[in-house]
Structure 1
Amino acid sequence: MKFGETLRKSLIKEYSFYYIDYDELKHKLKKLLKTNDNEWKNEFEEEFLNELETQLDKVYSFTKVKSTEVKRRLKDADKSVTKLISNIATAHDDEFLILENEINDVIADVYDLARFTRLNYTGFQKIVKKHDKLTKFHLRPIFQVRLNSKPFFKDNYDILIVQLSKLYDLVRTRGNPIQGDSSAGGSQQNFVRQTTKYWVHPDNITELKLLVLKHLPVLVFNADKEFEPEDSAITSIYFDNKDMDLYYGRLRKDEGAEAIRLRWYGNMKSEQIFVERKTHREDWTGEKSVKARFVLKEKKVNQFLKGELPAKQVFDKMRKEGKKSSQQIDNLEKLASEVQYRVLKDKMRPVMRSFYNRTAFQLPGDARVRISLDTELTMVREDNFDGYDRTDGNWRRMDIGIDYPFSQLPEKDVCRFPYAVLEVKLQTQLGQEPPLWIRELVASHIVEAVPKFSKFIHGGAALLPDYVDLIPFWLPQMDVDIRKPKIQEEFGINRNHKKLITSSGNELDDEESQGDYYTGGGVTFSNDINPLEEDLDDTTPLLLPSSYMNNSSSPIMDSISNAYAKLLQYFSDDREFTVKAGTNFDLNETFKDKIPPGKSISIPIRIEPKVYFAAERTFLSWLSIGMILSATTTTLLNYGTKSALTAAIMFFICALVTFVYSIFMYVWRTMMIRQKKAVLYADQIGPNLICGLLALSVFVTFIFKASE
């Protein structure tokens, strides 16, 4: 679909006169070229630039007016809610419903405005790109300056969303919002916690926030303070050594794998630094993966990391104040000692920084449902592996702060992640299903599930390719468009009595064409599996939607492929990895053209002790078969006739092959299990080989007996 057609189908009727006139600009461009035999003159350039400027003024002016109107309506709604709650004793449900409808309209206006600005920004980028391609004049740098002077596309809706969330929560709870410590996790017992991660395309970020705030309020840690954009900033410094031991441990999901990071909230002036250690635990251990942390003053971090400040001294003041129990302080001191020892012993240093702005949704004091959305995610190098010490001996580099997109950094030092990252954390009782709105959200077109996604792993693989040879499964698929068609027309932001058009502007490719969305076939990824299942199992494919399309256009080839897949399924062991017909589970083979030379994809596999025991039992079963064949050989040699000698020799060969093959398979399986390799563990050769040798032995014996 051409962008002009996309624009026409996506525009909001009430705003239609204020969009960029993309078709007219394209027509003017072609007309000017045609009048001078495709030769572009300076006067043409000036005329076209003036027309662009006119369109920019139109869009910018409307955006300012509409933004002012939305803020005014929000302010009026705030006054109405405050007035109604002050007279709560005489308030009626109808009054709350009227206010709820008004706030819903404001929410729809914010959504419309966000779609309007994004679609127009895409339009300007597209027409300038087309201009540069056809005329060979470079307008993009010049016009970008004009865009930055009238930045209609840079409006931050987070402040509006926080205000809307507060008002909507007051109206929804009829003036009695849930109270509690925003940082508390509640006191639920016997709950199962599930965490799932998703990617969200920039086109869908505002819609997602507006949808969630209707069910959960934005989590504000300090309600007495006016919200500022920097309040949502979170920065973490990850530690590792030159061998990338922590990276590999977390990537392979090794039992006991750790991640050590230093985190702070807000700007670089924050004095509280949280030292955190995340430890991965396999399910078979009966333990849960844990995250533990303690607080350090920023001025003491360097001393602590160098070992000049013992862990015991860190908590001397805390012991004197007596605000925590002796047991709690002992646990924190133990944690600090272990972190300090690990950093010094393994010669760890800062290797990577992650920065993002987080919007969290949760009921205060109730952690049963928590949703967080991380936007503007950026990874930055902090290492000195290439001989350049970016931190200059400090525990973090000081040439950047929270000034996204960190344009002062060289491109080799920064990785700007193209999507937002959504985390859904649930604590539900055993057998209890998540809320319906959560299930609808994670199954919608807005999100794309990416199991086991990690900012640390992505940053390590993207920024330090020379120091890692294993990469996560999602890295070769970063060029896959995760946008999907809308599944449920009624799902999304709707006004009270009429449904909004919910398609949004799409960034298209160089030729202005929008790729067809994938709608079926192949391996399922997010919507056909349980979207709230955290752990991967044998049958969980690790592919994004467009990666597993069956490219065959021949019905004959499709039929042959399906028949072959069914044949394999019939003869295969039930325990082998299963994928649908026309797909390939070997990701290194599937993405061989996208994987950098010398790299391979690490596929997370959960290995439990019973897997080793199963391999041992299989080995012992083979040995017992070999012993039976050996006993048969001995019996034939001792008590058989002359012709039985031939049978004894054949059975001896069978026994010898059984012993050698079983030893080889046991060693091979143990090595593959230990290395967590995604290979076919089912034996498709051995049983057939032994049966064939036995049949051959009997047949040869029969021939020799018959010849006698």
Structure 2
Amino acid sequence: MRFGKTLKNTVYPPWKGKYIDYTKLKTLLREHDVTGDASDSDDSQWTEQDEEAFVQELLNVQMDKVNTFQSETSQQLRERTSACEAKLRPLAPSAEGESVVLDEIEKRKMATEILEELDSITKEVSELEKYSRINFTGFLKAAKKHDRKRGTHYRVMSLVQVRLSQLPFNSEDYSPLVHRLSVMYSFVRETLTEDIVPPSKEPERGFGHDAYSSYKFWVHPDNVLEVKTFILRRLPVLIYNPGTSKNVETFDDPTITSLYFDSPRFDLYNQKVARAPEAGSLRLRWTGQLKDKPSIYLEKKIVTDSDTSREVKVQLKEKHIKEFLDDEYHLDKRVHRMEDMNNGESVEAESLKKDVEELQSFIKENDLQPMVRANYTRTAFQIPGDDRIRISLDTNLAMIREDSLDSDRPCRDPSQWHRTDLDDGEMTYPFGAIRTGEIVRFPHALLEIKLRGKAHQAEWINDLMASHLVKEAPRFSKFAHGVAELFENYVNSFPFWLGEVDTDIRRDPETAFYEEQERLAKRAEEEIAVGSFLGGTGSPGTHHISGSPFSRWNEYGGPSSFCRTSAVTEVPAKRRLSHIEPQQRAVQPPAPAPVEPVFEQEPPSRMTKIMQSLSLSKPSWMEREAVTLPPGVRHPGVWIKDTGPVRVESKVWLANQRTFIKWLHISILLSSLSLGLYNAAGKHNQIAHALAVVYTFFALFSAAWGWYMYEKRSRLIRQRSGKDLDNLFGPMVVCVGLAVALVLNFAFKYKAVLEQSRDNKPFEPSPGLPIHNTTMLDAAWRAQSHAQQIL
């Protein structure tokens, strides 16, 4: 899609007129007056006044307009946020633990109004980030178009880049504002729900230790802020504050470093990619820079066959890490301290000793050493004290080599447990000082959703999973991706997602909706097929999954019924949690009212199957019924594939022309055959005359059919039609007709020979089809052969 149309579709209606005037810039550039070769005659028409007018409009008028609007809007959003904070202050308890006494109705009314204002601010923050990005792209597009058209004598790209670096409209960080909104969202939700009967503490056994269902997704950088604002309306942001500052605006998302271990043979990587049972991994993890002396954890993770995991973790100081890895340090002082506090007997001390022994034996048995470092910025979402829903969003992900496999040029000093050049130099993303080949920057953000217990019933989570903002990436691993990208010559197997990393994962919302419908319809067909063998109504297609977007609550408090059959096309656009283990799904009983399918499809007859195999009937994908669109979604009118100029590969046109020439060849052969047969026939040989007319008819039919199909296929190609281009009628008519004519001609000649032999007369070839004239027979067979090739 051209940028002008993209800009038009991206405009936020209340801000119309505040975007870059891309049409005016193209008019000043006089794009349509310039040919593609940018000849000297074209440049001679472009004067200094034209160049000055374009540069003035681009660098001063348009950039100043966009920058002023962005700055003013950003300031207004901060002021509106501060106003909401001021309104909420009377509801918050004071330093002495007291709060202003307000009427409960007035209190709830105020909280509801503030919640609506927060929704409005959050929406505009997301739109402002899109506004900055699309305008930034517009300025670069305009400069690139100028240099391509007028680059022989004038160039403005460098000026545009310098000017953009001086303006903050595309580099402003909205994270502090997002954090403030998250805090207020959390407070307002508590205010609105404190007078309602609090939800009973569900007796979920082993709080904090139950198995989680984990879902991983990729997020395009253009959609990161929108995903953040979508989540923070339901979950607060966990703020990482290593210092003592109480100013929320100084809180930044933490930078996390994970240092992964493996053997020189990459045994742990191969086990992880092959999904071997009891596959394990080992990493060192810390937050921030090592100079700040953060807490460092050594973690071992074992994944079992049932996709559950077990972790062993100990906390270490930086000065003891090398000794611990070399099996020279065993946390003896910490163990003795625990035993002294409990009079020599401590469950914690025994557990710690067991963990230390397991970790050190795991390192020694597998000959593990640091191999890959993953550095990323994490934004975490979770309700404090409630870990049923945990969401993390990792951005600025970079994988860096930490190995010492190459003795001539090691990435890490073998005597050290980490790369000192990175940590001593306090390098941060994008790590520009690292040598080429030692770093790979992941192009997307990573979203991980962990759900426990009844958290699967949250409908907004299903909406996020099924939206166009994310792309599902099951089993994605930073460790596996880093090894596959950085040690390509050392490993012979790669993870399945590697080929999709460089693709554009952005999707149009309507396209995402149709893709989800097709996926659900296909699953429904499979479930009905399986249910037909099970018998009765116990088909999986009639189950109601609690917490999935398919269950809708009716006016009586129960889930409304739905039935998915091969004929049902009204399916919602939200994704069902298909990866939840069966034992984690809560199955609701079917609604009292029976559900009848729209229709039942009879099994196709044998003739129907034969006709389908010959492509004489429409394929199944052309017989899809029109789907019912949800509210707010309209039919696009013109498909994306039908927009823009028609570009057809040369081989497509040449194939159509080659087929037409084949038909002309058949027509010429049949014309020659009929002419020779007619000239060789006598005056009284009516049979030969009749056959000559038949061959002439087939010659004319071949020429007419070839021209008709050539025009039809050309029209379908120009229209980008999805219809089939093949047609069996013409080739079958020619083949069958020639075969019948040749058989009749042979029968007549054979009959004449028999009659002459009975009269004891020497055989004289009659002027039908001369037997000695092999050229005509050869022409007939060649014509039939060409028709069979086309068939």
Q: Please give the TM-score of this superposition, normalised by the length of structure 1.
A: 0.64
Summarize the Cα distance change of 1:457–1:89 in structure 2 as closer, same or farther, 3 Å threshold: same
Aligned: 1:410 with 2:435? yes
CA offset at residue 408 of structure 1? 2.4
Instruction: State the AA in 2 paired with 1:246.
Output: L
Q: Is the 8 A contact 1:262 1:274 kept in 2?
A: yes
Q: Alignment partner for residue 438 of structure 1, among 448, 458, 461?
A: 461
The code of the aligned residue for 2:263 comes to N
1:391 corresponds to which of 407, 412, 426: 412
2:465–2:575 contact (8 Å) kept in structure 1: no
Residue of structure 1 aligned with 2:474, choices 418, 437, 451: 451
Segment of structure 1 superposing worse, 142-151 or 61-70:
142-151
2:312 paired with 1:292? yes
Does residue 1:153 correspond to 2:170, yes or no? yes
Residue 278 of structure 1 deviates from its aligned partner by: 1.1
Deviations 1:361-406 (A, max 9, x none): 1111111111111122221222233442223343222444462222
Match of 2:353 in 1: 333
- Relative to structure 1, the CA distance from residue 82 to residue 217 in structure 2 (aligned partners, 3 Å threshold; closer, same or farther) is same
Q: Tell me what 2:13 maps to.
A: 13
Residue 140 of structure 2: aligned partner: 125
Cα deviation, residue 556, structure 1: 8.4
Change (3 A) 1:433 1:299: closer
CA distance in 1: counterparts of 2:8 and 2:116, whole angstroms: 29
Q: Does 1:52 align with 2:65?
A: no
TM-score calculated relative to the size of structure 2: 0.58
**Which structure exhibits the higher relative contact order, with contacts defined as CA atoms closer than 8 Å and separated by 6 or more residues?**
1
What is the aligned partner in structure 1 of residue 382 from structure 2? 362
The equivalent of 1:352 in structure 2 is 372
The aligned residue for residue 505 of structure 2 is 482
Partners in 2 of 1:143 and 1:217 — Cα distance? Answer: 39
2:233 pairs with 1:214: yes
Look up the SS of the partner of 1:275 in the other structure: strand
- Cα 1:519/1:335, change in 2 over 3 Å: same
Q: Distance in 2 between matches of 1:51 and 1:119?
A: 18
State the distance in 1 between where 2:493 and 2:296 align.
31
What residue is the counterpart of 1:615 in the other structure?
Answer: none
Per the alignment, in what secondary structure is the counterpart of residue 118 of structure 2? helix
Which has the higher mean CA deviation after the structures are superposed, 444-453 or 49-58? 49-58
Instruction: Using the TM superposition, name which of 256-265 and 129-138 deviates more.
Output: 129-138
Residue 311 of structure 1 contacts residue 337 of structure 1 at CA under 8 Å; is this kept in 2? no
The one-letter code matched in structure 2 to 1:6 is T
Compute the displacement of 1:280 (Å): 1.0
Amino acid corresponding to residue 458 of structure 2 in structure 1: P
The correspondence for 2:579, drawn from 533, 543, 547, is: 533
Is the 2:255–2:287 Cα contact (8 Å) retained in structure 1?
yes
* Aligned-partner residue type, residue 66 of structure 1: T
Q: Name the SS for the 2:359 alignment partner.
A: helix
Secondary structure of 2:332's aligned partner: helix
**Counterpart AA for 1:444:** S
CA distance in 1, matches of 2:265, 2:111: 60
* CA-CA distance at 1:472 after TM superposition: 1.0
Distance 1:97 1:518, change over 3 A: closer
5+ residue gaps in structure 2? 93-98, 199-203, 524-571, 583-611, 622-791
Deviations 1:531-567 (A, max 9, x none): 451689xxxxxxxxxxxxxxxxxx9898899799xxx
Separation in structure 1 between the aligned mates of residue 390 and residue 129 of structure 2, nearest angstrom:
25
Say whether residues 1:245 and 2:257 are aligned partners.
no
Amino acid at match of 2:190: T
CA-CA distance at 1:281 after TM superposition: 0.8
- The reply to whether residue 279 of structure 1 matches residue 292 of structure 2 is no
Q: In the alignment, does 2:345 pair up with 1:312? A: no
Change (3 A) 1:189 1:105: closer
- Do 1:352 and 1:459's aligned partners in 2 also have CA atoms closer than 8 Å? yes
- 8 Å contact 1:200–1:420 — kept in the other structure? yes
Please give the per-residue CA displacement for 1:448-474, whole angstroms capped at 9, x wherever unaligned: 111111111111111221112211111
| CA distance, structure 1, for counterparts of residue 17 and residue 494 of structure 2 | 48
**Equivalences for 1:567-586 in 2 at 5 Å?**
none
Q: Aligned partner of 1:326: which letter?
A: S
> What's the counterpart of residue 181 of structure 2?
164
Label 1:319 to 1:113 Cα distance change in 2 as closer, same or farther (>3 A): farther
Give the corresponding residue for 2:393.
373
CA contact (8 A) 1:358 1:372 kept: yes
How many residues of Structure 1 are paired with residues of Structure 2 in the alignment? 511
Bigger CA drift: 169-178 or 236-245?
169-178
* Paired residues of 1:484 and 1:517 also in contact (CA < 8 A): no
C-alpha distance 419-332 of structure 1, shift in aligned 2 (>3 A): same
Q: Map Cα deviations across residues 269-319 of structure 1 (whole Å, 9 max, x no partner).
A: 342111111111112xxx931123111112222222233323435645555
Partner Cα separation in structure 2 for residue 24 and residue 441 of structure 1: 38
More off after superposition, 228-237 vs 76-85: 228-237
Q: 1:557 to 1:259 in 2, by over 3 A?
A: farther
RMSD, aligned α-carbons:
3.9
Aligned residue identity for 1:188? F
Aligned equivalents of 2:398, 2:142: Cα separation in 1 = 28
Is 1:464 the equivalent of 2:487? Answer: yes
Change (3 A) 1:518 1:166: closer
Task: Sort the Cα spacing of 1:269 and 1:190 in 2 relative to 1 into closer, same or farther, 3 A.
Answer: closer
Q: Which residue, out of 248, 251, 254, partners 2:276?
A: 254
Between the aligned partners of 2:3 and 2:338, the Cα distance in structure 1 is 62
Q: Does 1:195 align with 2:214?
A: yes
2:715 maps to what in 1? none
- Percent identity at matched positions? 33
Distance change in 2, residues 1:65/1:470 (3 Å) = same
Deviations 1:137-191 (A, max 9, x none): 7755554343222232222222111110110111122177899xxxxx9953995
1:523, 1:333 → 2: CA distance? 54
Q: Which residue identity does 1:113 align to in structure 2?
A: L
Letter in 2 for 1:355: N
The DSSP-based 3-state class of the residue aligned with 1:466 is: coil
Conservation of the 8 A alpha-carbon contact between 2:403 and 2:410: yes
Residue from 115, 130, 133 that aligns with 1:100:
115
Q: Tell me, yes or no, if the aligned pair for 1:218 and 1:360 is still in contact at 8 Å.
A: yes
Conserved? CA contact 2:115–2:185, under 8 Å: yes
Task: Judge conservation of contact 1:236–1:353 (CA < 8 Å) in 2.
Answer: yes
Say whether residues 1:84 and 2:84 are aligned partners.
no
DSSP-derived class of the 1:412 partner: coil
Question: Relative to structure 1, is the Cα distance of residues 82 and 523 closer, same or farther in structure 2, using a 3 angstrom cutoff?
Answer: same
Contact 1:170 1:176 in 2 (8 A): no
2:124 is the alignment partner of 1:109 = yes
Q: Distance in 2 between matches of 1:177 and 1:152?
A: 40
Distance 1:517 1:378, change over 3 A: farther
Could you say which residue in structure 2 is the equivalent of 1:572? Answer: none
d(CA) in 1 for partners of 2:172, 2:522: 37
In the TM superposition, what are the counterparts of 1:596-615 in structure 2 within 5 Å?
none
Structure 1: runs of 5 or more not aligned: 180-184, 492-515, 537-554, 565-708
Residue among 446, 449, 453 paired with 1:424? 449
After superposing the two structures, state which structure 1 stretch, 313-322 or 520-529, moved more.
520-529
Question: Which residue type is aligned with residue 257 of structure 1?
Answer: A
Instruction: Name the amino acid aligned to 2:90.
Output: K
Does the C-alpha gap of structure 1 residues 190 and 157 become closer, same or farther in structure 2, counting only changes over 3 Å?
A: closer
Cα separation, partners in 2 of 1:160 and 1:528, compared to 1, 3 Å: closer
Instruction: Determine if contact 2:240/2:252 at 8 Å carries over to the other structure.
Output: no
1:315–1:153 CA distance, 2 compared to 1 (3 A)? farther
- Shift of the 419–39 alpha-carbon distance from structure 1 to 2, 3 Å rule, reads same
The letter for the 2-side match of 1:415 is V
Contact 2:175 2:252 in 1 (8 A): no
Q: Look up the equivalent residue of 2:168 and give its one-letter code.
A: P
Q: Is the 8 A contact 2:398 2:441 kept in 1?
A: yes
In the alignment, the residues of structure 2 paired with residue 334 and residue 42 of structure 1 have an alpha-carbon distance, to the nearest angstrom, of: 81
